[in-house]
Amino acid sequence: MQQILNFIIRNKAFLLYLLLFSVALLFTIQNHSYHKSKFINSANFVSGGIYDQLNTVDQYFDLKVQNENLVEENARLRNQIEAIETTTDSTFIDTTNFDGSFLFKPTRIVKNSYSASTNILLIDKGEADSIKQDFGLISPKGVIGIVDKTSDNYATIISILNTKSRISAQLKSTNHFGTLTWDGKSPEFVQLIDIPKIAPVQVGDTIVTSGRSVIFPKGILIGTIEDYKLDAAENNYEISVKLFNDMTNIEHAYIIEHLDAPEINNLLNLSNEQ
Amino acid sequence: MNNSTLLHIFRFVILVLVQVVVLNHINFLGYINPYLYILFIVLYPIKNNRLLFLLFSFLLGLTIDMFSDSGGVHAAACVSITYLRPLILKWSFGSAYEHNSIKFNTIEFGTKLLYISILTLIHHCILFLLEVFNFSEIILTLQKTLFSSIFTILLCTIVTIIFSKRSK
């Protein structure tokens, strides 16, 4: 017993080091598995508050570009309204356009990140604005990420520039779908994998969300095909996608809530159990 | 609560703020950031309570982690260099470092640079190994380590020179 105590006292610095290092390692491993970073994240009062203050100053610097983006989007939406108004016939309801199950809420990105391999963003809406995990986040130009952790007034977003992000995407021209991943290298390009070999893939084609998950509606823009090759098994294409979004410069965004998500998930769980 | 304790608390807060508000957003060439906050560990007094020093550096790393949503990578790297610091001091200043208390603004430039460089390289190596967390991306890891280290060493040296001039 005496010897054990002596050993502990003699090596107390080393033991404390081991303990602290293991705790840090535990946090790291948790952070690398999806939806598990419980303790340490920036959606809290202190860091959220500081980033919020910083952003109120920061946003003046690229006010012009952001305004141009919004004006551009307004113009596009205006055109769409115009098109709908001219084609709508009161005696005929086109059910394919009748899609009221998504709710859009505007928000501001207060902390952007694109240089790490697991990039996480922070937005200034949280539980108080009924934001929950697995809501989608898009900018006027395309997909940004998925809500991960929420606090009262802030939420963290798993960016598409995150090596653990998986988003279902498809070719715009056909319905061949695959999974959108990121290899951690360039913030301009993401990778679309598992597109079957039979799909007609061409450089310059547009990639959109597939709507197969309950997070994003179908047809949200992602990017264009820059390059493609067959994967190691030679059954599927591995496509390099150039993003429409400049992920290094994003400010205004919309949170997407899928109103039927709980119902759909329930149904899927029921069928899986049987 | 004497003057030097206050100085260290002040230095802790300022370094964390500078790191998360300014330096984390540099992203030179896409991914190169200097990590100036390790200056707290570099400049911590040589005569110290080792356990307390370990706890402080863990706290420092964890604070940076909280702001940059990186799990515990900074904390792990920080406690590692804190634990290894006596060894590194011995390498760069010779075994005499324990007897005559070294003042950072009196030692010559070469030894100071060596000391900062060793600490920075070890810190960045652990940091990026854990951040990338994938041995098949070892080239990317080494690339990040090397380029970020150059920036950190440069910035740390400049900052120590600027601030030691004033206290002379």
Please report residues of A whose CB lies closer than 8 A to that of B69.
31, 37, 40-42, 113, 118, 120, 122, 156
Tell me whether residue A55 is exposed, middle or buried, using C-beta atoms within 10 angstroms of its C-beta: 0 to 12, 13 to 18, 19 or more: middle
A90 versus B71: the higher-pLDDT residue is B71
What band does A97 get if pLDDT is binned at 50, 70 and 90?
Answer: very low
- Average pLDDT for chain A: 83
Q: What percent of chain A has pLDDT over 90?
A: 14
- Least-confidence region, from A33-42, B43-52, B134-143: A33-42
Which residues, numbered 206 to 245 in chain A, qualify as contacts with chain B under a Cβ-Cβ cut-off of 8 Å?
none
A196 versus A85: the higher-pLDDT residue is A196
Nearest CA in chain B to A57: B21
A12 touches chain B (CB under 8 A): yes
Query: Is A21 close to B76, i.e. CB distance below 8 A?
Result: yes
Q: Say what the pLDDT of residue A249 is.
A: 85
- Least-confidence region, from B34-38, B62-66, B159-163: B159-163
Average pLDDT for residues A30-57, to the nearest whole number? 73
Residue A177, strand partner residues = A170
Residue pLDDT, tens place only, B77-110: 999 999 998 888 888 877 666 655 666 666 778 8
Nearest CA in chain A to B25: A113
Q: Say what the pLDDT of residue A38 is.
A: 58
CA dihedral A43, B128, A15, B94 (to 10 degrees): -130
Cβ(B160)–Cβ(B107) under 8 Å? no
Query: Is B27 close to A115, i.e. CB distance below 8 A?
Result: yes
Q: Say what the pLDDT of residue A242 is.
A: 92
pLDDT at A117 over 70: yes
**Which CATH superfamily, name and number, covers A33-258?**
Rod shape-determining protein MreC, domain 1 (2.40.10.340)
CA B72, CA B70: separation in Å to the nearest integer?
6
B122 versus A99: the higher-pLDDT residue is B122
Angstrom distances, CA of residue B146 to CA of A212, B6, B22, B131, B152:
42, 34, 21, 15, 10
What band does A58 get if pLDDT is binned at 50, 70 and 90?
Answer: confident
Query: Is B72 close to A31, i.e. CB distance below 8 A?
Result: yes
Per the rule left: phi > 0, alpha: psi between -120 and 50, beta: everything else, A197 is: alpha
Average pLDDT for residues A186-200, to the nearest whole number? 89
A19 touches chain B (CB under 8 A): no
What band does A9 get if pLDDT is binned at 50, 70 and 90?
Answer: confident
Identify which of A13, A26, A122 has the shortest CB distance to residue B50.
A13
Nearest CA in chain B to A37: B71
Query: Is A27 close to B72, i.e. CB distance below 8 A?
Result: yes
Select from B67, B70, B30 the least CA-distant residue to A52. Answer: B67
Cβ(B147)–Cβ(B32) under 8 Å? yes
Domain ranges for chain B, please list them: 3-167
CA A229, CA A233: separation in Å to the nearest integer?
11
8-state DSSP, B71: T
- Least-confidence region, from A8-22, A33-47, B147-161: A33-47
Average pLDDT for residues A157-172, to the nearest whole number? 90
What band does A235 get if pLDDT is binned at 50, 70 and 90?
Answer: confident
Domain ranges for chain A, please list them: 2-32, 33-258
Query: Is A54 close to B21, i.e. CB distance below 8 A?
Result: yes
Average pLDDT for residues A226-244, to the nearest whole number? 88
CA A136, CA A245: separation in Å to the nearest integer?
15
Average pLDDT for residues A32-38, to the nearest whole number? 62
A57 touches chain B (CB under 8 A): no
Average pLDDT for residues A99-119, to the nearest whole number? 82
Tokens of A229: 């090759």
Query: Is A248 close to B20, i.e. CB distance below 8 A?
Result: no
Q: Say what the pLDDT of residue B132 is.
A: 82
Q: Say what the pLDDT of residue A145 is.
A: 92
Query: Is A117 close to B76, i.e. CB distance below 8 A?
Result: no
B105 versus A248: the higher-pLDDT residue is A248
3-class secondary-structure state, position B87: helix
CA A7, CA B82: separation in Å to the nearest integer?
21
Query: Is B51 close to A113, i.e. CB distance below 8 A?
Result: no
Average pLDDT for residues A12-17, to the nearest whole number? 88
Q: Tell me the nearest-neighbour CA distance from A8 into chain B, angstroms.
A: 13
What band does B59 get if pLDDT is binned at 50, 70 and 90?
Answer: very high
- Average pLDDT for chain B: 84
CA B7, CA A242: separation in Å to the nearest integer?
49
